[in-house]
Amino acid sequence: MTPDAHQRVVRVNLGHEGSAAAGDRSYDVVIGAGVLGEIGPRLKAATDRAITGAMLVIDTGVPRTFVERARGSIASVCPVIGEVAITPSEKGKSLATLDVILQTMTRARLERSGVVVCIGGGIVGDVGGFAAGVYRRGIGVVQCPTTLLSMVDASVGGKTGVNLSLGTRDTDLKKNMVGVFHQPRLVVADVHTLDSLDTRTFACGVAECLKHGLLGAQCGDPGLWSWTLSAISDGMLGEDAALIELVARNIAIKARVVECDEFEDKPPAAGDIGRLALNLGHTFGHALETIPGLSPDGNPSHAPLEHGEAVALGMVAAARCAHALGLCDAGLASEIIAGLRGVGLPTGGLGAALPPAERVLDAMMDDKKVLDGSLRLILPKRARAGDPVRVVTVDEPARNTVIGAIEMLR
Ligand code: GLY
């Protein structure tokens, strides 16, 4: 368990003096090659009383060898009393799936001193984490993310929840409408699980890494942006050492943001970074994701867009808006485009499937950052120090800039 060149540990410090909620909620994120095989002793070390049982919530897409490696290690410290397998989908991220997990935990008589261990991508972590957050009013959860996206984003920060369906149409699915903040006790990110991802899924995680790179100057890692661009252009992201560095540095960015704003209730302020900054590219991206028939290369048979692909396009649009509004030079958009293209992410060319920009802007009005009917965008600044993003309210002049940036994705 001693950290070595093949593993890194990032501490997330939460619940210190002055925090909005009492109690120490700090935890370690262990990043390395093969670290799923250490989860049991790590869990024991992270818990101050005996763990009486573990319930596994696993993603059916995770190769069984990884699940067995984790299970064997957990079994060395406590009984594994059950397992729920989930096929990840936004429709299945539901109250019905939550109910299945809670019933399995209840039938297995999982006690308050038990834990839920989630092994999989963001959907499994969200629904399993939510089950842990509400079962017997809250028990421990360990997150074992197996996609790059869930490693660098969802597994850290304690957001859990499910979607709510108001009807049968796609637009009736209200994402993450029900949930709780429930910080994990431990996060174990084994980069060997990334070998099982297809290139498209892996690239989606790189989109979030590039976003974090833009926040690096404010979060103690000003070199992350150029390191990430070089790692992509030099083709280093297939190697364990580079992957461990990528994941650890990105988790450290996420950790610093969450430490500043655990409950996403911090108003944006100069010199301070809040969770809103993590929405860079996401307002455009979420709207693009809801448009049927959109594909990363304009070919309808490759539709729909993956979340990371939509965020990639959103980052390009956000950078173009930022340039038009004088927040950064044109070079920033070019660097973003080069980084995204380097891993095969889309940066435009959506073609005829992209509806008129006005309609995309209308879909953006569903965003959670809309305040008093006004859309607010997170736009990047070229900041080597100081605020890396600016929250811009989309008033009438800015509206034309946004429309122009959406049109350029066609
Ligand atoms: N994924 C955004 C956040 O954790 O706040």
Q: What is the pTM of this model?
A: 0.94
Mean pLDDT, rounded, for 400-406: 97
Among 147, 138, 142, 236, which residue's Cα sits nearest to residue 191?
147
Give pLDDT, residue 269. 65
CA of 404 to the centre of ligand 1 (A): 28
Mean pLDDT, rounded, for 371-387: 81
Q: Which residues is 47 bridged to in the sheet?
A: none
List pLDDT tens digits, range 245-298.
Answer: 999 999 999 999 999 999 998 876 666 678 999 999 999 999 999 898 999 988
Ligand 1 pocket check for 275: Cβ under 6 Å: yes
CA distance 220 to 388: 12
Phi, psi of 85 (to 5 degrees): -100, 135
Q: Which atom of ligand 1 is nearest to the CA of 157?
A: 4
Residue whose entry in the numeric block shows the structure tokens 């800039």: 401
The CB density around residue 290, as the number of other CB atoms within 10 Å, is: 18
Ligand 1 pocket check for 185: Cβ under 6 Å: no
Ligand 1 pocket check for 157: Cβ under 6 Å: yes
Ligand 1 pocket check for 342: Cβ under 6 Å: no
List pLDDT tens digits, range 13-26.
Answer: 999 666 667 788 99
Nearest-CA residue for atom 2 of ligand 1: 278
Contacts of 68 (CB under 8 A, 6+ apart): none
Q: Which atom of ligand 1 is nearest to the CA of 153?
A: 1
Nearest-CA residue for atom 5 of ligand 1: 275
